[in-house]
Amino acid sequence: MNISDMNLETLIQSTPVISVMGSPDVTVMGLSCDSRSVRGGDLFIAIPGSIENGIHFVSEAIEKGAIAVVTDKDISRKEIPSIAGVPIVRVPDARVAMAALSASFYGHPSESLAVAGVTGTNGKTTTAWIIRHLCDVVGRPCGLVGTIEYVLPGIVEPASRTTPESIDLQRMLAIMKDGGFRAAALEVSSHALIQHRIGGVEFDAAIFTNLTQDHLDYHGSMEEYFEAKRLLFTGLAKQTKKKGRAIINSDDRYGHRLLDRIQGVPIITYGQGSSCHFRASDITYTATGTIFRLDAKGRSYLVRTPLIGLFNVYNTVAALAATSAMGLELRRAIAAVATIPQVPGRLERVPVKRNFQAFVDYAHTPDALVNVLSTLRQLNPARIITVFGCGGDRDRAKRPLMAAAVEQNSDRVILTSDNPRGEDPLEIMNEAARGFRARGHESYVDRESAIRRAVEIAAPGDIVLVAGKGHEDYQETESGRHPFDDVRVTAHAMAGKEFDEREEARR
C-alpha cells in the first residue's frame, strides 16, 4: 500500500476545526486512536471509549512518538505538560473528525471501488458474503469486511469486530484498491453507525435487511435502534462523489418505515410483494438448496442457490439487487448464485453421516431463531432438537423471548450456556427459562454436554440445531476466551469422539 506522508495543516482541511494550538506544519506518517499502538510520526486521535476517553492517554501517545493530537476536549499544557511543543487540534467531534481524516489520509479509496454496505439485525453476514462471491465470479475482485473475516488482496484474517474503526476501515479499503480489487462488501453494524466508523465511505449500494430486537443494552429502545440503522441512508443522501442506491426489504415493517424516511436517494425495493423492484416468488425448498423465480428489470429469471430457506432467498435477492446497482450484469450474477459457498456458521451442515442431520447457526435473537427453525421445518424432519443459550453482558430482555421462540418451533429443547462473559451462566439460563410455557426442556450449563445430549437423543429423520455461536471458535467466560467450535464439537459427538480443548487450542 503506497500512502504518502501528509502535512497536518493540509490533512485537517478535511474536517471542521475549532482551534489549533501550536504549529500544524508537521508531517503525519500514520494515524492512531489507540495509544498502545502509536508509532513515531503518528497523529493521535483521542476518541471517547466505553470506559475512558482517549484524552487520558495523550501523554502515553506522545511518549511513543505521536507528533500531534486531535481531540474534542479543551486541554491545556498545564493539565498535560507533555504536550508542550506538540500541536493540538480541537474539533467538534473526535469520531467524526477521525473518519474524515482517515479517508483523506488514505486517499479516499472507496471512490475507486464499487462499495456495498449491508445493515440490519439479521442477514448482514450472508448478504455481504454473497455480494463478494457474485463480484468475484463475474470478474470484479471483491474485498470483504464483516463479522466472520476480513478479505483483502492476498490476505484473509479473522474479524476482530463486524465494522472496524474508521482508521482501520479506510486502510483496508486502500489495500483493496492498491491490490487490484474493484469492489468491497461491508457489514455495517448499528454501533459503527452511531460511532461514525463509516464516515468518508462512498457507497454504491446500501442494503437494509430487516430489524428485530437486539442490542437494546446499547441503544435503549427499538426506536433508537432503528434511528441508528437509518444513519446509513442519511449518509447516502449526503454523498458527493457517488449517487448511491438504497436497497430496502419492503416486506419488513421497519424497512417499510424506512422507505418513507429516505429522501434524495434512488430506491430499489426487494421482497415478495407484487410492487417490489426485485421480487421473489414460486419458492421451492430442498435439503440441498432453494429454487425460486425472480422478477426484476422487466424480466423473469429462475434462480438456484445451494443456500437453504426463505431468509436466504431474501439475502440472495438483496445481493442481486445490490450487485446490479454496483454495475454487474444481472444474468451473469444470477448464474453465479448457483455456486455460492457455505457461509461459516450460517445454517452450516455438520459433515458427519448419520441417520439424522445436524446444523450450526449463528441465530441469537428471537426473530433469527424463528427464521432458522421455520426453515428446518420445511425440510420435513421427524423432530427438531434445538440447543441454544443466551449471551452474557448483552440485551437481557430478549432472553425469555428467545426461549419462547425455540420452544414454539422445536420438538425438544436443550438450554445451555453461550458466551456468558462476566455473568453467571446459570443466572442467564434462569432468566431465559422464564420464557418457557411448559417443563419439557433440559438444561446443561456445560455447552459440550448439551450438544452431546442432543446427539444422544436424536433418532432417524431428526434434525439437531445448535444455535447461537455459529462461526465462533471460542467460548467467552469471565476468565477469558477458551477454544470451542460448535461445528467441531457437534461433529465429534456425532462421530463418538471426545472434544479436546488443548488440541483445539493448537489448531
pLDDT tens-digit map of 72-87? 988 766 667 667 789 9
Domains and CATH numbers, the chain: 6-104 (3.40.1390.10), 108-337 (3.40.1190.10), 348-506 (3.90.190.20)
CA angle 503, 507, 418 (to 5 degrees): 75
pLDDT digits (tens, 9 = 90+) for 311-322: 999 999 999 999
Q: How much is the pLDDT for 51? A: 59
Distance between CA atoms of residues 447 and 431, nearest Å: 17
Centre a 10 Å sphere on the Cβ of residue 473 and count the other Cβ atoms it contains. 17
SS3 call for 323: helix
Distance between CA atoms of residues 98 and 95, nearest Å: 5
Contact 88, 8 (CB under 8 A): no
CA angle 8, 11, 14 (to 5 degrees): 145
Phi, psi of 84 (to 5 degrees): -55, 125
pTM of the model: 0.90
One-letter amino acid at 390 equals C
One-letter amino acid at 431 equals E
pLDDT digits (tens, 9 = 90+) for 468-493: 999 999 999 999 999 999 999 999 99
Phi, psi of 363 (to 5 degrees): -50, 120
Distance between CA atoms of residues 228 and 214, nearest Å: 12
pLDDT digits (tens, 9 = 90+) for 262-301: 999 999 999 999 999 999 999 999 888 999 999 999 999 9
CA angle 277, 228, 117 (to 5 degrees): 50
Q: Kindly state the average pLDDT of the residues 430-459.
A: 96
CA angle 243, 149, 481 (to 5 degrees): 135
> How would residue 1 be classed by pLDDT, with cut points 50, 70 and 90?
low
Distance between CA atoms of residues 231 and 196, nearest Å: 9
pLDDT digits (tens, 9 = 90+) for 328-378: 999 999 999 999 999 999 999 999 999 999 999 999 999 999 999 999 999
